[in-house]
Amino acid sequence: MNPKLYRKQIAEIGIEDMEIDISSLQNAMETMSQLNELEKVLNQIKFNIRSDIRNLRVEYMWMIHEADDLINKKSIFGKKKTIDDVMRKKKVLKKERDTNIAAYEIIENLINDYIKQIEESRIYIKNHIQMKVE
């Protein structure tokens, strides 16, 4: 899936608009439940991103391997590919791979930040609930 679609998914779950409501015990428990659901969704998106990154790595690994096979093969115009040509092609492929993966890693870091905020919010709510119960 495209990184833009992952960003759209994250925006659609409404994590940015979520408010921590601990005005009552009932609201605190509902907020805790919402946080748990958000964390599950974020972890699923993160899993999908990791799968896409693995698939990209494999795809580029094959393209780089195919570039190695071009050494001493003739092109359409009868010109042989030199080692330098192949090295340039491999370098371009590696840069392209790294750029594509970086887009996914940015989103994964965003998700990690959200999960960390959820964990901190959960601790805050638990402490608040304990204080109300005691």
Residue 37 lies in a domain: yes
Phi, psi of 74 (to 5 degrees): -85, 145
Q: Assess if residue 104 is contained within a domain.
A: yes
- Return all residues near 75 (Cβ < 8 A) that are at least 6 apart: 81
* CATH classification of the domain holding 9: 1.10.287
Q: Is the pLDDT of residue 74 over 70?
A: no
The pair of three-digit structure tokens given for residue 103, joined into one six-digit string: 């887009």
Question: Is there a domain that residue 73 lies in?
Answer: yes
- Number of separate domains in the chain: 1
Distances (CA, A) of 2 to 6, 52, 118: 7, 9, 25
Task: Give the model confidence (pLDDT) of 39-63 as tens digits.
Answer: 999 999 999 999 999 999 999 999 9
The total number of residues written for the chain in this structure? 134
Domain range enclosing 109: 3-13+24-133
Per the CB < 8 A criterion, the answer to whether 125 and 20 are in contact is yes
pLDDT of residue 68: 76
108 located within any domain: yes
pLDDT at 113: 97
Give CA–CA dist 66/113, Å, rounded.
38
Residue 18: inside a domain, yes or no?
A: no
pLDDT tens digits for range 76-125: 666 666 778 888 989 999 999 999 999 999 999 999 999 999 999 999 99
Q: Considering the domain boundaries, does residue 19 fall inside one? A: no
